[in-house]
Chains A and B, each alone.
Chain A
């Protein structure tokens, strides 16, 4: 009897042993995080191997944040999402894949790093771009993606709107006219932040790129030797808080809840924060923030809750079909 079961059992162990030591995750993220998560995934794999003995392989998927959220809702089996804005994770939560209280499960509203919106201009700043007002000047070509498809573009738009509200004493009509004048200067509307960077940096179009701070710093670093670009920090910008979440139903199906949760928690560790900072994301950890403080321009920042009452309200007012952006961009620009 013993020998009868010994061989199958041994075979099962030989097959199942290595399988159990292997685990795969899919991180569905937004456009400019490719390089960040390449480094982070390697670091986490080392950490997880040492901690659990498991070899973890993290696959990445990148695209416009809203589009990525839609893909997950439509069946792309992401174990975790790391998107550009909370509204997109809310959309995934509304589909039932993630609990509605997802923002409370990790520190800082589940946003382990932050960023902001700055300007990237050409060498010597020939159009003398210094603040948001300069983007409304006739003859200044502005590059920014489409807020209807790009999370980064929504941050750009709201940063300009917030500036205009302050400038015009909270007058929404004047703010709308201000933002409309900026978009009148946009010659090409890309669908994503990375596409807009390509338009400005590689295709040589425009005088100023409204960009994620990390994307702008990356462009300056990559082309730093040539000194072709420089960053201009506006006087006021928005605090962008890209959120992360485990996609519970998918992770449960893949039996990856534990490793997926550890993956996101690792973003908050000093090691994870350091990697984020190296890729020009503003870390939450004070020590790491102090260490990398020099690389980030000093900008007065406001939050979306302060200026717009949160993402849900901002989305409904500005980016829903027939919203303010449609009125601006559909008005014969």
Chain B
């Protein structure tokens, strides 16, 4: 076939009518050896050509490098972690994480001795990224306390800023302080309102920012978890519905109320428990000691279980202006419970007010302090310093006692005040020192005075986050 084509080609060229040649092909010239430059001018011309060729090759190399850079992925390492990114930005993989190395030192714990300890409160590597421009994912296990827990695992589609869809395991949109990352909270431990809102749950959430963040909305359907709880599955067919609307009316401006935010969140659903799995919460102090739990001895007559409707409501607000920060929230959680054949709706409440003042080196925000100058003694910069104080309280429904909870072992009220000092070395390192005093109503035998001994605790935390 190749031969036929070639012969046809030669035949076509040989046809007199087809030939439009002006010249016949010339005989092959004898190979010649290039003559070396003879004159100074010829030598200069030769050198000039060599330089031009080198310049042009350099130019082409730069063009090729620039072209390659347009399509090559980028690897980056910095204060926000480590990342790989495609040239068009549509595919991103980030490796992030944080660790909390805590110290807890209990003071005057004669009645209820607690162990002073160092602990790895959180050890959380984070794998997150983006595929096809609008689909984000995040996977965050936690190895804190020597246990492995999957905290976050979700996929989110960002169709536009006002409409996102998230599915998987994550924080339902209820508690203001709960929705802060653990790396952003003001004190080592969150306040009592967080005891009454869900921690992490499996579900689907729609959310969005409207008008540049002036309004933020979220609604979702979740398996449903007890107050303060997390779960990786459901124990009944009923689901919880959660919603939150939050306003930052001045967020698009530059005035003193730019970081003023307020809103309301809530959830509603049904929760049924069993003797083996009562599906009711117990509540902890800032020192992570249990101060309230429902009656339970493994028998049906003496074990309190969840028995129907659960409703939470939480008005919430914050203000960060200049060096000053203020966060306040109130949570009420109403749950139907049953012991034996006796049912009751119990309503527990908690609230907190936390204030902070950045002494130097940065400004507070809901998303923590971003130091203006990083810790560098040689340069005379020390990062940012912040002092903080808070007051918070949790009240258990009076109707819980004595039938559903034992006042000799469970307190009906816990109120606490705390002061703290935070040193932000840079965006990645932070040192925290807190002192917190929690007093109780009830929770102890009458012979011991009836009220549980105050919890006085000194906290320290070394946080590294990237």
Interface residues, chain A, CB within 8 Å of chain B? 130-131, 133-134, 136-139, 141, 162-163, 165-167, 170, 187-188, 190-191, 195, 199, 203-205, 233, 235-236, 297-302, 305-309
A134, B32: Cα distance in complex, Å: 11
CB pair A187 B13 closer than 8 Å: no
Pair A306/B8 contact, Cβ less than 8 Å:
yes
Residues of B within 8 A of A306 (CB): 5, 8-9, 12
User: A162 vs B32: C-alpha distance in the bound complex, in angstroms?
Assistant: 23
B24 at the interface (CB under 8 A from A): yes
> Which segment of B53-61, B281-289, B343-351 sits at the interface?
B53-61
Chain B neighbourhood of A136, CB < 8 A = 29
CA distance A140 to B109 in the complex (A): 96
Assess the A188–B22 pair: CB atoms within 8 A.
Answer: no
Instruction: Determine whether the beta carbon of B57 is less than 8 Å from that of A138.
Output: no
Q: Are B6 and A133 in contact, CB atoms less than 8 angstroms apart?
A: no
Most buried by A among B2, B25, B52: B25
B: interface residue count bin: 20 to 34
B342 near A: Cβ within 8 Å? no
Q: Are B20 and A203 in contact (CB under 8 A)?
A: no
Q: B23 within 8 Å of A by Cβ?
A: yes
In the A-B complex, the 8 residue pairs with the closest CB atoms: A139-B34, A300-B21, A306-B9, A138-B34, A235-B23, A309-B5, A187-B53, A307-B9
- Within 2-31 of B, Cβ neighbours of A (below 8 Å) are at 2, 5-10, 12-13, 19-26, 28-29, 31
B160 at the interface (CB under 8 A from A): no
- Considering only CB atoms, which chain A residue lies closest to B14 in the complex? A166
Question: Residue on B with the closest CB to A195?
Answer: B60
Complex Cα spacing A188 to B21, Å: 31
Return the contact of B28 from the options A138, A167, A199, A235 (Cβ within 8 A). A167
* B74 interface residue (CB < 8 Å to A): no
Contact A205 B53 (CB under 8 A): yes
Complex partner residue of B25 from A137, A167, A233, CB under 8 angstroms:
A167
| Max count, chain B CB within 10 A of own CB: residue among A163, A199, A205, A308 | A205
In angstroms, Cα B19 to Cα A204, docked, is 35
Q: Is the CB of B25 within 8 A of A166?
A: yes
Q: 6 A-B residue contacts at CB 8 Å? A: A131-B23, A137-B32, A166-B13, A170-B7, A235-B26, A302-B9
**With contacts A166-B25, A205-B52, A205-B56 known, is A309 near B33, CB below 8 A?**
no
For residue B409, give the distance in angstroms from its CB to the closest CB of chain A.
66
Residue in chain B with minimal CB distance to A75: B88
Instruction: Please measure, in the bound complex, the distance between the C-alpha atom of A300 and the C-alpha atom of B25, giving whole angstroms.
Output: 11
Residues of chain B contacted by A236 (CB below 8 angstroms): 13, 21, 25
Which of B1, B21, B33, B52 is A138 in contact with, Cβ under 8 Å? B33
Interface membership of B35, Cβ < 8 A: yes
In the complex, B49 has a CB within 8 A of chain A: yes
Kindly provide the distance from the CB of B130 to the nearest chain A CB, expressed in whole angstroms.
Answer: 18
Residues of chain A contacted by B64 (CB below 8 angstroms): 191
With both beta carbons as reference points, the residue of chain B lying nearest to A74 in the complex is identified as B71
- List the B side residues contacting A191 at CB < 8 Å: 60, 64
Interface residues of B in 27-86 (CB under 8 A from A): 28-29, 31-35, 49, 52-53, 55-57, 59-60, 64
